[in-house]
């Protein structure tokens, strides 16, 4: 069968077939503020990244991913604002993650067909398009990379290296916090985890005599199960139950170090206590990370204002809607034909207690867990894969703590590692070689075609939002994004239709109102725009985009002082202002005669977009 080197070559080939046509794509959606317009990545400053939130001016977003930002700064040092260079890093990471899943699968099950098929399924699944081709999706890629590495190292007994990998996983994305649960799951189920399963350890602990005598595990016969073994640490003797390998020390050597004696005494309670010792550094890392996150963000979770619908959902609302969302995820896994890339309000309506699809999703969720439990003694690897997926999904599920979105395709990146293992096991059970080839070749070809088509859809913001409107016509954000891009192309009448459709979804949405005002602004006046801008300002007096559009109108009307005030407020409020906002601010400052401040604004614009001819011209004339 294929070895690790062969798996790596195959992984590169598959990633190339699926995603190489995404390389020429532009910065899309969140790539703009996080990458192309983010001054924080213009210099490699790891300490500053470690003490800063993901959105540099927006701590209320509750996101902390310093290693991801560090990686973007390294890419910027190499590629500057060349999007294909950033995306190449993502593709390389995805290929590495495929090999890591292959290695973990070999560690779990041994070499064979299953690890290879699991890797192939994971690499080519079209639902990964967002995580792989969106540059900011690398937070998912890095978290999975370091988490799978930590799992593999832990299974090999390299706990210290596993802990280091865990640090980088957490600093890439917060969903890696589930690693301790994954390691417990592995020890509980796997007979190849480097020792006894936790379940065996618990059974042995209950069967252990509380005073004197030999230890006999339940179900073992007294004559054959107990065998003496020499102690590796110099104890006078130790006894092990042969079928399960459980060892219980009897008389420790007085010459042992205190730590060795502590481990020996603790190990007397079996695999469960041994796992607790092995997990100690991992748990300490998790606690240290939570402390650091709290120090930087001022909170552990997502603050209410940054939660979906500003935290107004009850727990019952979240759970019921999570059921509805689960059905959508199942659809994407088995039928990844239509990918939206974003599922903001009202793409998925909030579920109520009488909605049958919400309850169906909840029952299906419980059914997956029940199937995993049923398989634990029949095919433990199936159980491991299903439960891994469930555990990996928890941080983004809204089950325990609310987050800022209901659903995202990128949230499936880590869970699909477990589901790919399950699918590979099912594939290996096919006995007819012709059926295997038919399903394998057909699935591979279909996946490559779908990946290429999804890559093409994401070539720029215009195609991205146009597709989003097609897939999720009830999404206000889709209408907003598509409307704005229509304005950029000079198709204002079509933009008005899209933005008004968005306002029918959310009538009091300042972003839609201010963008509609932009669509109704002419080259000479803002007569139709002002009523919309004033309405947006009444809804949210601090809304940055409204301030920006009001600045544009004031500037058109020659009121440069009012324009400067609006632009300044927008710059101070937007997390990572784009180059044109700084440029317009500079023009208003220049109109007021403040040439030094204007030049500073132009320089900040040039830092973001150094190739812009208008900005370069202004700097030459300063």
Position 420 scores a pLDDT of 97
pLDDT digits (tens, 9 = 90+) for 348-406: 999 999 999 999 999 999 999 999 999 988 899 999 999 999 999 999 999 988 999 99
Contact 217, 207 (CB under 8 A): yes
- Is the confidence at residue 462, as pLDDT, over 70? yes
Q: Which domains does the chain have, with CATH numbers?
A: 4-192+284-457 (no CATH), 224-268 (no CATH), 461-620 (1.25.40.10)
- Is the confidence at residue 237, as pLDDT, over 90? no
In this structure, is the dihedral angle defined by the CA atoms of residues 468, 129, 608 and 84, taken in order, positive or negative? negative
Q: Which two tokens stand for residue 404?
A: 């800022």
Position 239 scores a pLDDT of 32
Position 269 scores a pLDDT of 53
Q: Which two tokens stand for residue 22?
A: 């995404």
DSSP code per residue over 477-507: HHHHHHHHHHHHTT-HHHHHHHHHHHHHH-T
- Is the confidence at residue 457, as pLDDT, over 50? yes
Position 377 scores a pLDDT of 87
Contact 374, 187 (CB under 8 A): no
Stretch among 207-211, 278-282, 542-546 having the lowest mean pLDDT: 207-211
Higher pLDDT, 79 or 242: 79
Stretch among 34-43, 72-81, 177-186, 332-341 having the lowest mean pLDDT: 34-43
SS3 229: strand
pLDDT digits (tens, 9 = 90+) for 31-59: 988 998 888 898 999 999 999 888 765 54
Higher pLDDT, 519 or 203: 519
Residue 66 pLDDT class (50, 70, 90 cuts): very high
Helix axes 258-267, 271-297, angle to 10 degrees: 110
pLDDT digits (tens, 9 = 90+) for 288-300: 999 999 999 988 8
Beta-bridge partners for 228: 239
Q: Which residues contact 432 (CB under 8 A, 6 or more apart)?
A: none
Residue 575 pLDDT class (50, 70, 90 cuts): confident
- The number of beta carbons lying within 10 Å of the beta carbon of residue 95 is 22
């Amino acid at each position: 069968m294929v070895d690790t080197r062969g798996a790596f070559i195959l992984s590169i080939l598959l990633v190339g077939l699926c995603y190489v046509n995404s390389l020429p794509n532009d910065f899309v959606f969140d790539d703009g503020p996080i990458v192309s317009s983010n001054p924080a990545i213009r210099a490699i400053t790891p300490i500053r990244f470690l003490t800063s939130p993901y959105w540099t001016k927006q701590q209320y977003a509750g996101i902390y991913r310093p290693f991801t930002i560090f990686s973007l700064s390294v890419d910027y040092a190499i590629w500057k604002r060349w999007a294909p260079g950033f995306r190449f890093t993502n593709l390389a990471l995805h290929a590495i993650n495929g090999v890591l899943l292959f290695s973990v699968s070999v560690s779990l099950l041994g070499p064979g067909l299953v690890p290879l098929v699991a890797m192939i399924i994971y690499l080519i699944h079209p639902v990964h398009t967002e995580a792989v081709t969106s540059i900011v999706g690398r937070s998912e890629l890095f978290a999975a990379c370091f988490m799978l590495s930590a799992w593999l190292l832990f299974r090999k007994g390299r706990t210290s290296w596993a802990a280091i990998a865990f640090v980088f996983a957490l600093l890439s994305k917060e969903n890696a916090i589930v690693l301790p649960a994954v390691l417990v799951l592995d020890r509980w189920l796997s007979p190849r985890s480097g020792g006894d399963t936790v379940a065996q350890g618990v059974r042995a602990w209950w069967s252990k005599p509380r005073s004197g005598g030999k230890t006999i595990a339940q179900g073992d016969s007294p004559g054959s199960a107990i065998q003496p073994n020499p102690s590796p640490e110099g104890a006078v003797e130790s006894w092990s139950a042969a079928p399960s390998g459980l060892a219980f020390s009897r008389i420790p050597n007085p010459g042992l170090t205190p730590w060795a004696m502590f481990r020996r005494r603790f190990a007397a309670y079996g695999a469960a206590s041994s796992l607790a010792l092995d997990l100690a550094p991992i748990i300490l890392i998790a606690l240290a990370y939570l402390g650091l996150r709290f120090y930087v963000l001022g909170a552990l979770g997502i603050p209410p204002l940054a939660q979906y619908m500003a935290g107004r959902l009850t727990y019952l609302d979240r759970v019921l809607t999570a059921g509805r969302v689960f059905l959508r995820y199942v659809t994407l896994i088995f039928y990844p034909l239509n990918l939206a890339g974003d599922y903001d309000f009202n793409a998925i309506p909030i579920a109520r207690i009488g909605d049958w699809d919400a309850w169906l999703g909840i029952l299906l969720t419980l059914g997956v867990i029940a199937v995993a439990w049923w398989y634990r003694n029949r095919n433990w690897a199936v159980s491991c894969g299903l439960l891994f997926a469930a555990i990996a999904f928890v941080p983004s599920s809204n089950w325990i703590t609310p987050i800022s979105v209901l659903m995202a395709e990128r949230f499936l990146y880590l869970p699909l590692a477990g589901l790919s293992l399950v699918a590979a096991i099912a594939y290996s059970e096919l006995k007819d070689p012709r059926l295997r080839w038919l399903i394998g070749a057909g699935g591979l070809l279909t996946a490559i075609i779908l990946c290429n088509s999804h890559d093409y859809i994401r070539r720029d913001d215009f195609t991205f939002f146009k597709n989003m409107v097609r897939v999720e016509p009830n999404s206000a954000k889709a209408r907003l994004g598509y409307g704005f891009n229509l304005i950029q192309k000079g198709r204002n009448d079509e933009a008005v239709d899209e933005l008004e459709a968005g306002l029918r979804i959310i009538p009091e949405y300042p972003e839609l109102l201010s963008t509609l005002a932009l669509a109704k602004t002419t080259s000479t006046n803002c007569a139709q725009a002002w009523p919309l801008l004033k309405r947006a300002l009444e809804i949210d007096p601090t809304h940055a985009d409204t301030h920006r559009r009001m600045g544009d109108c004031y500037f058109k009307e020659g009121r440069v002082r009012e324009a400067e005030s609006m632009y300044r407020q927008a710059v101070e409020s937007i997390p990572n202002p784009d180059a044109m906002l700084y440029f317009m601010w500079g023009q208003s400052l220049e109109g007021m005669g403040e040439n030094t401040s204007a030049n500073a604004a132009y320089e900040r614009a040039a830092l973001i977009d150094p190739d812009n001819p208008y900005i370069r011209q202004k700097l030459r004339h300063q």
